[in-house]
Structure formats: C-alpha cells, structure tokens
Amino acid sequence: MTDSEEDGIFITPPVQGLPLLDETGRGFWGLQRSSSPELADRVRSLFEYLNGAMGFPDTARGREDRECFNLLVRSVYPEILIDLADRIYVQHERPAVFLHFDHINLNLRRDNSQRPALFASLNRRMEVLFDAFTDALRTCGNLAGDAEVVRCLSEGYSHYLFRTKNFPWEEPLQNFPPEMSLPVLDVATGLSGFNLLHDWPALYPRLILTDNMPFIVRGLAHFKNLLGRENVEVRYGDFSNGGPAGEKVGCLRVQKFLHHLKRPERQRFLQWALGILEPGGQLRVLDTDLELSILHLAGDPQVRSRLIRGYPETLVEIENEFCGNVVKDIQAAGFRLTHLDFHEYLDETDAYSRNPRDNLPLKFIGIEVEGMRES
C-alpha cells in the first residue's frame, strides 16, 4: 500500500460529504454472536459517535470507499477495539497490528452478502481503508484525544484484558523488602501497567502507576476497578521535565522510559528521582538502545520500506553510548549503584517487519541498573 492510496479517503468533519456509516454498517453483523457484550457495546458506541465526526467525500470514489468500509464495519469482531487502540495510541509498544480477516470473512460468509471469490480483493481494500481510518483518527483534529473516543477504546481494552488475561507485556514481578512501607512509583507505565496491576499482591506496598496518556490512565483506572485493587493508585504524570512534586516513595521503577529523554532532560529527571526517594530508597532502571539500531537500519530506504508502516515515525532518536551514559548519569545524580547488568544482544526478528519471516538483523544493548539513595 502506498500513501497515495490513502489520500483523501476520509474527511473530518463530514460537512460537505457523506456520513461515515450507512445501514449496512449499522447492522454490525459481526457483533451479534459476541460473547463479550462489554466490547460489542463499545464498538457500536464508537462508530456511531464517529459518524458525526468523520465521513467520505461525495464523489464516485468516496461512495465506493464508503460501501467497502461499511462492509468492514458490518463484519468486524469485538476485538477491533484492541486493534484500533494499538494503532492509534500505542503502536510504539505494539507495532504489528493487522486486521483479522479470518473473523471478517467468516462473518461475510454467514451474512451471504458477498461472494467468497471476491474476498481477496475486498480484503485488500479493507486493509487500505483501515489504515487510512486509524491514520485519520490519530492525526486529524483532536479525535484521538476526544473524551468519548478515549472512553470507548480504553474501557474496551480494560474489559478485554480482564476477560482474557492476554496481556501485551508480561514481566516477572520484582521482589521488595518486606519492611518497606513506602509506595512504589512506576514511571510512564504504558501497557505494562495492566499486567503489573493484575499481579500486584495485596501485601505489597502501595503501587502508584503513572502515565501522561489519557488512554493509558483511563484504561488502568477502569481495570483497577474491575479487579477491585485497593493498594494500587493510578495517576496522570508527565516526566518530560523532571517529575511532579508529591509524597516520598520507597522505590522508583523506570522501565524503558529514559531513552525517550534527551540527556539534559534525563539528568533533570534523575535529580528529581533522588529528591522523591526516601533515604535508603531504590531506583530501578531497565532500558535498551534498540530504537537506535532500528533507526540506523531505517536510514536505508530499502530497509525502511520493509518495516511496519508508520512504525519508524514512533521511534525516538537515542544518543550514541546511551546505556553507558545512563549509568554515569545515575551515579552523577548521587545514587550508589547496587546492581548493574549490561548485555549486548544480537537478534534476527520479523517483529518490526511488514511481512512475516522477513527477518531484520538487530544489534543493541540492554541494561538493568539499581541505585540507592543514601542519607
């Protein structure tokens, strides 16, 4: 698919065009047998809400695109909410998102609305429309930050994980000293917060999950309520210029976040971290320079064309010697190192490739650092 295939497919708002949905799409045939009414209800709510915010040009091509898009909406599965959220909000963490055409085509067969011989070409056009739809949601106006869009997608994500336990990121739960009574603060928790929240023992200190993305904050708060966790708190937190003032904590978890900061920002953050920890408190850092390796590969246009569409744009520039500099900066901030694990990795993977089994060679460094604030 090329960018030109997507140009002008959707218009926002549809003042002079055609509404997003027609009666075909509003049938929502694919949701009728759903075992997850919580997801199905939010799929309907999302598309009905967007019907007033998005549409198609009133042209021959616009009418064709609208007809195909509404066939897609009619046949979607409830988990389309997860695919949409991954594309719109967290492609950085979940790069490989594709429509599940096994489900879509099964619903089309049940509906008897299309001949199976046409499925291959229909699927290709649906994929183009889905890409354009998610791009429009992410980039046009303020749709991605719209409160109702955030509500539908975040609550759908929460219900899905509550029902399936199919967490996007799973990490072994770290141990904490039994005598530690002060809270544990998780910085820029992202999708890993769902698994952390789910596994957090009742006897552990209070856990504070933070993020600056409304989708994450609202989704975690909803998930917390579904689980009934009383020793977990979810907060908005922006750490781009240090961090928010607040209560002292006993441990600060910083997982794959520092590479998002330029070095002066990182140094300010570490000074803030030292100040928010009580004497004896722990800083726990996990990070890699993987994105630097991918960006170097993406500098070759031929390699870039093999990467998942849109993924290179989610990556951040990381300084050379990032991992070594992080260790130096932690020490310079005043922490005493208590643990350091420094590894170079060589990997061949298709995790970031458009096509399965198109492996790319990756060489990167990962670090685990623990530091203590002394008196």
Residue 15 token pair: 């003042």
> Is 30:107 a contact under the CB 8 Å cutoff?
yes
Q: What is the pLDDT of residues 60-97, one digit of tens each?
A: 999 999 999 999 999 999 999 999 999 999 987 877 78
Helix residue ranges, H only, the chain:
3-6, 37-50, 60-75, 80-88, 101-111, 119-139, 147-164, 192-199, 214-227, 263-276, 290-298, 301-304, 322-332
The mean pLDDT value of the chain amounts to 91
| Mean pLDDT score, 277-285 | 95
- Rounded CA gap, 25 and 99, in Å? 17
In a shared domain, residues 146 and 10: yes
Residue 338 token pair: 């208590």
| Within a domain: 171 | no
| Within a domain: 332 | yes
Q: Residue 307 carries which DSSP code? A: B
- Rounded CA gap, 34 and 279, in Å? 53
Domain with 116, as residue range(s), is: 3-153
Please state the domain count of the chain: 2
| Within a domain: 68 | yes
Residue 180 token pair: 């530690």
* Residue 186 predicted with pLDDT over 70: yes
In a shared domain, residues 13 and 148: yes
Pairing mode, if any, of strands 277-288 and 360-373?
A: antiparallel
Starting at the earlier edge strand, list the strands of the sheet with 249-255.
232-236, 207-211, 184-187, 249-255, 277-288, 360-373, 335-349
Tell me the HSE value of 244 on the side-chain side, using a 13 A CA sphere.
14
Q: Residue 344 carries which DSSP code? A: E
More confident: 351 or 325:
325
| Mean pLDDT score, 318-326 | 95
| Rounded percentage of the chain residues whose pLDDT exceeds 70 | 97
Residue 337's domain is classified under what CATH number? 3.40.50.150
In a shared domain, residues 130 and 30: yes
Q: What is the pLDDT of residues 204-247, one digit of tens each?
A: 899 999 999 999 999 999 999 999 999 999 999 999 888 887 78
Which of these ranges, 99-113, 244-258, 280-294, has the smallest mean pLDDT?
A: 99-113
Asked, as a colleague might, if the bond just before 356 is cis with ω within 30 of 0, I would say no
Among 20, 24, 28, smallest CA distance to 62 is for 20
| Mean pLDDT score, 332-352 | 94
In a shared domain, residues 118 and 254: no
Choosing from 105, 137, 153, the residue where a domain stops is: 153
In a shared domain, residues 130 and 253: no
Choosing from 153, 173, 202, the residue where a domain stops is: 153
Q: Tokens 């246009």 belong to which residue?
A: 301
CA dihedral over 166, 194, 364, 344, signed as positive or negative? negative
Among 243, 223, 221, smallest CA distance to 233 is for 221
- Rounded CA gap, 152 and 41, in Å? 9
* Residue 177 predicted with pLDDT over 90: no
- Rounded CA gap, 169 and 152, in Å? 21
Is residue 287 helix, strand or coil?
strand
| Within a domain: 326 | yes
In a shared domain, residues 148 and 19: yes
In a shared domain, residues 13 and 142: yes
pLDDT for position 170: 76
pLDDT for position 6: 56
* Residue 5 predicted with pLDDT over 70: no
Is residue 31 helix, strand or coil?
helix
Computed on alpha carbons and rounded to an integer, the radius of gyration of the chain in Å comes to 23
Q: What pTM did the predictor assign?
A: 0.92
| Within a domain: 168 | no
| Rounded percentage of the chain residues whose pLDDT exceeds 90 | 74
Choosing from 153, 175, 201, the residue where a domain stops is: 153
| Within a domain: 212 | no
- Rounded CA gap, 86 and 274, in Å? 34
